Amino acid sequence: MPTVLWFRRDLRLHDHPALAAAARDDGEVLACFVVDPRLEASSGRRRLQFLGDSLRRLRDDLDGRLLVTRGRPETRISRIAEEIGASSVHVSEDFAPYGVRRDERVRAALGSVPLVATGSPYLVSPGRVVKKDGSPYRVFTPFLREWREVGWPAPATSGAAVARWLDPARLRTARCEIPDPGAALDVAAGEAAARRQWKAFVHNGLHRYSHDRDRPGVAGTSRMSAHLKFGSIHPRTLAADLDPRGAGAQAFLRELAFRDFYADVLHHWPASAWRNWNEHFDGIQTDAGPEAERRFAAWKAGLTGFPFVDAGMRQLRETGFMHNRVRMIVASFLVKDLHLPWQWGAAWFLDQLVDGDMANNQHGWQWCAGSGTDAAPYFRIFNPITQGERFDPSGDYIRRWVPELRSADDAHLRKGERPQGYPAPIVDHGAERAEALRRYQSI
């Protein structure tokens, strides 16, 4: 009997446990993707573009045998399974709050046809790393120790070579166009591109990763985040290439652990997607009204008058990417210099980022706001000028993204006149730092 392989955040054919499981019964396999209107509406244009590009590459890799349809998954998947007489529907397990609810609806709609979850988008799936009493970890460092102990298998043998793909042209199910909003991207999509990008980083950048990863002015990071978000490569494929003796390799592995940790936190505390994980921070005073909106608009546009902040916000606006170190600085600036809710910034990031991921994004923001697990202490308030001097000492990153400062002797504007056309600082950092401390101490 045929089976259905429902692609979601696993848009690849290699190291794909669900694919291997779907092909195991020797029947034909129907590859499909459902464009969910609810997820489509909440995706920024660039993320939707990367999804569409990834689907086009996957369709090519399958010689056109990918069914792409639009609608509510519980309706579309159940109809597809019924039409082909599927013995089972196979997926990579989803642990995000919306994905869990969606899969419950699909499982109910399928009735006697099992929804079989094999593998996940993570090295160690959420819920597997727990304390001795079975409770989840709230702090990253002990989570990391246990995460290493739990471990993960080697990359899975792909079932793509033995799968007999069912031609979707035989189905009556309505097909739809793959999303193509026309957004420009600076990262190529698809499994082949992901593997090329990773191999290039392993050969040329991994050995310097621990040194260069905090320098936004140099190409010191892997740029694999969007590929991990959409599963055009599995993190096990990356981990298999990491030398346990290499400082850069181990620093990179630690970042993969952080990705798993935040997914685990969201799995155990789904409300933390938009609410403070630490409810003690619910009482923090934040600003609202026209002046707050004006400052928020300046922050989004990269017109705050703080060069390092503006460089990051313009990189985000123009490319859909921002260096991780810079993400921390601009987030701290929004929450602690402008006194705006972290949710405003998190929503803007999800709208703009190609790699926007609910677990990583929301809990990264709460780290900066002080309200999450393993959060930065509330009294840690990044100085946007000194942070720029530390991590972009030459000013190359600022000059690349803030053209008004390209000819400035000091791109950090610690000395000399402020170039004409570049705004004055919208706040006084020293005064706002004191105000932030006052507000935090009050709760």
> Where exactly are the structural domains of the chain?
3-120, 123-155+192-267, 279-441
The structure tokens listed for 176 are 């739809």
Whether residue 209 is annotated as binding a ligand: the answer is yes
Whether residue 355 is annotated as binding a ligand: the answer is yes
254 and 141 Cβ atoms separated by less than 8 Å: no
- Alpha carbons within 13 angstroms on the beta-carbon side of residue 179 total 22
User: Cα Rg for the chain, rounded, in angstroms?
Assistant: 23
Whether residue 407 is annotated as binding a ligand: the answer is no
Q: What is the pTM of this model?
A: 0.96
User: Which residue in this structure is represented by tokens 């850069």?
Assistant: 248
User: Which residue in this structure is represented by tokens 């030398």?
Assistant: 243
The structure tokens listed for 146 are 């246990």
User: Which residue in this structure is represented by tokens 């155990």?
Assistant: 268
Whether residue 221 is annotated as binding a ligand: the answer is yes
**DSSP per-residue letters across 145-182:** HHHHHH--PPPPPPSTTT-EEPPGGG--SPP-PPP---
The structure tokens listed for 83 are 């039409």
User: Which residue in this structure is represented by tokens 């504007």?
Assistant: 413
For domain 3-120, the CATH class is: alpha beta
- How far apart CA 367 and CA 174 sit, in angstroms, is 44
Whether residue 59 is annotated as binding a ligand: the answer is no
Whether residue 63 is annotated as binding a ligand: the answer is no
Q: What is the pLDDT along the chain (443 residues), one digit of tens a residue?
A: 999 999 999 999 999 999 999 998 778 999 999 999 999 999 999 999 999 999 999 999 999 999 999 999 999 999 999 999 999 999 999 999 999 999 999 999 999 999 999 999 999 999 999 999 999 999 999 999 999 999 999 998 876 777 899 999 999 999 999 999 999 999 999 999 999 999 999 999 999 999 999 999 999 999 999 999 999 999 999 999 999 889 999 999 999 999 999 999 999 999 999 999 999 999 999 999 999 999 999 999 999 999 999 999 999 999 999 999 999 999 999 999 999 999 999 999 999 999 999 999 999 999 999 999 987 787 889 999 999 999 999 999 999 999 999 999 999 999 878 999 999 999 999 999 999 999 999 98
Whether residue 255 is annotated as binding a ligand: the answer is yes
Whether residue 321 is annotated as binding a ligand: the answer is no
**Nearest one of 230, 231, 239, 233 to 197, comparing CA atoms:** 233
Specify the pLDDT at position 443: 85
Specify the pLDDT at position 91: 98
Which numeric CATH code is attached to 279-441?
A: 1.10.579.10
Alpha carbon distances (Å) from 177 to 50, 151, 180? 15, 40, 8
Specify the pLDDT at position 44: 94
Whether residue 65 is annotated as binding a ligand: the answer is no
- How far apart CA 320 and CA 24 sit, in angstroms, is 39
For domain 123-155+192-267, the CATH class is: mainly alpha
Alpha helices, DSSP H, located in 304-357: 307-319, 324-332, 342-352
DSSP 3-state percent helix, strand, coil across the chain (nearest 5):
50, 5, 45
